[in-house]
Chain A
Amino acid sequence: MTAVVDVRERGWWRRNAIWLAVLPLMVAAAAAAWSFRLMNLWWPTELVERVDSVGAGETAHFVGDYYDLGLTDPALANTWVTREVDVRVLDVREVDGLPQSVLAEIDRIPDGAAAWRVELELTAEPGTDLGLCQVMLVTSDGTRYGEASKAGTRPDPLGQGNPCMPPDSMDSIAPEAGTWQVSTVLLTRAGDTPDEIWFSFGNPHYVTLDVP
Chain B
Amino acid sequence: MKHARNAAPGLLGVAQNLFASLGTTGKVISGTLAAVVAATPFGAWNAVADDAIPLAADATVEVGPYEVVIEKVVSTKTLGDVQPLDPADKLLVVVAEVTNTSDVPAHAHQLADIVPAPVGAGVVDTESRPVPDDAEPGDRPLPNRYNIADAGELDVINPGVTYRVALVWNQDGDAAPETVRVDLAGLHWIEEGFAGLDDEYWLPTDEVTHSGMFDVEPPKSQAGNGSGSGGDGGGADAGEGDTGGAEASGGTDTGGGADDGAGTGTGAGAGDGAGAGTGDDAGAGGTASGSAESGA
A–B touch (CB < 8 A): the answer is no
A contacts, CB < 8 Å to B: none
Which residues of B are in contact with A by a Cβ distance under 8 Å? Answer: none
